[in-house]
């Protein structure tokens, strides 16, 4: 168990927290003393995650929340405040990602709209509902899960556009919320081993070779970054995008491998 207890008495709401990055983040906060509301459209899975948190001795609750529904979002926030006495941290993790059509002109309007509605507008709805309570807590923080897709091309047109929008929302909301004592930041993960990659171990092995650190990320890698940005350790950080990506955006691994081949003269063109 994590030795630090930076979130004793904090109320934390995490969207899309039944599995993957969301579940790992819920566990990290629980290990550090937080009271955690695990929200998801899949209530049974959320309750299973809550069960594992309670085994740690944590105070945790499950709540159904579709971030595309304003009424459900506001109900989740109200539940967290009532159950925990305060809402101190919001983690916007819920997303939707539709596979691209073979040709861009064949993309469907509905898929585009739904990806943006859940991924981008969902974070907007949750932040809007939570902000007054985060202000009232006196130590409020919002951490949103973005993606390297919002910075560089890795495919998925709508998802990537939504993730890029989240970076912009992080900056503008940070500027608005700063004078009210609330910090707003974003974590941009690279490839992370979650259920989205289930049954694709060979693909993950190939992806690992593209990362300078030699592996893909684990959900716990992202959870650690989220906890840092939400904590007092990051008290003078707001409006930032923290890349947690194994160096993939900093280093062109494929090109470096080509340069290491026999006969390389070390010149660049």
What's the distance, CA 29 to chain centroid? 14
- C-alpha 108: how far from its chain's center? 26
What are the extents of the domains in the chain? 11-259
**CA–CA gap between residue 156 and residue 160 (Å, rounded):** 6
Q: Cα separation of 268 and 264, whole Å?
A: 10
Multiple choice CATH, 11-259, 3.40.50.720, 3.40.710.10, 3.50.50.60, 3.30.420.40? 3.40.50.720
- Say if CB 57 and CB 1 are below 8 A apart: no
> Residue 265's pLDDT is what?
54
Whether pTM exceeds 0.85:
yes
DSSP state of 150: G
Q: Report the catalytic residues.
A: 159, 163
pLDDT digit string, tens, across residues 233-245: 999 999 999 999 9
Give yes or no for residue 269 having a pLDDT over 70: no
The number of beta carbons lying within 10 Å of the beta carbon of residue 61 is 19
248 band by pLDDT with thresholds 50, 70 and 90 = very high
Q: How confident is the model at residue 41 (pLDDT cuts 50, 70, 90)?
A: very high
């Amino acid at each position: 168990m994590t030795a630090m207890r930076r979130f004793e008495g904090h109320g934390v709401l995490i969207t899309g927290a039944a599995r993957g990055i969301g579940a790992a983040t819920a566990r990290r906060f629980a290990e550090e003393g937080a009271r955690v509301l695990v929200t998801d459209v899949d209530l049974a899975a959320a309750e299973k995650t809550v069960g594992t948190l309670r085994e740690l001795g944590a105070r945790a609750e499950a709540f159904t929340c579709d971030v595309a529904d304003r009424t459900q979002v506001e109900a989740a926030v109200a539940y967290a405040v009532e159950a925990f006495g305060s809402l101190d941290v919001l983690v916007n993790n819920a997303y939707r990602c539709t596979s691209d059509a073979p040709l861009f002109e064949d993309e469907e309007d509905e898929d585009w709209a739904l990806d943006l509605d859940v991924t981008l507008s969902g974070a907007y709805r949750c932040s809007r509902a939570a902000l007054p309570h985060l202000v009232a807590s006196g130590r409020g923080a919002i951490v949103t899960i973005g993606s390297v897709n919002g910075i560089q091309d890795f495919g998925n047109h709508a998802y990537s556009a939504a993730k890029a929008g989240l970076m912009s929302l992080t900056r503008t909301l940070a500027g608005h919320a700063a004078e009210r004592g609330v910090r707003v930041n974003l974590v941009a993960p690279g490839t992370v081993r979650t259920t989205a990659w289930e049954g694709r171990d060979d693909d993950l092995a190939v992806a690992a070779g593209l990362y300078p650190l030699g592996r893909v990320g684990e959900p716990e890698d992202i959870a650690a970054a989220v906890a840092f940005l939400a904590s007092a350790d990051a008290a003078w950080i707001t409006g930032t995008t923290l890349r947690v990506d194994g160096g993939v955006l900093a280093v062109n691994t494929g090109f470096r491998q080509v340069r290491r081949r026999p006969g390389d003269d070390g010149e660049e063109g």
